């Protein structure tokens, strides 16, 4: 059994206006992961993803691919505290949040 992990991702490229947040939400829910995703005013997409370490790694690989119309240039990754999940909407395992 692998450990639970929480990561913060910042995705760079053409990732806004192409369905990237919906893609991340769908892929996370499909994998049973917790967290959130949102657009940032600088054109990046920010996400916190939590779950089994192996599944999180698989999710990050999916984020590198993105939806068909997206172009992912880079992903900045950092470990995140469990408290980073507190930004989710109440009652949701994974949330799409407003732009910051």
Active-site residues: which are they?
Answer: 21, 39
Helix, strand, coil percentages for the chain (3-state, nearest 5): 30, 35, 35
DSSP 78: E
The tokens describing 4, both together, are 């639970």
CB 49 within 8 A of CB 28: yes
CB 47 within 8 A of CB 63: yes
């Amino acid at each position: 059994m692998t450990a639970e992990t929480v990561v913060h991702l910042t995705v760079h490229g053409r990732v806004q206006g192409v369905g990237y947040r919906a893609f991340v939400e769908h892929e996370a829910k499909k994998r049973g992961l917790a967290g959130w995703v949102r657009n940032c005013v600088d054109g990046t997409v920010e996400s916190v993803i939590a779950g089994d370490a192996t599944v999180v790694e698989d999710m990050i690989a999916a984020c590198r691919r993105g939806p068909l119309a997206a172009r992912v240039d880079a992903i900045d990754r950092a470990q995140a505290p469990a408290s980073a999940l507190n930004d989710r909407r109440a009652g949701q395992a994974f949330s799409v949040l407003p732009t910051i």
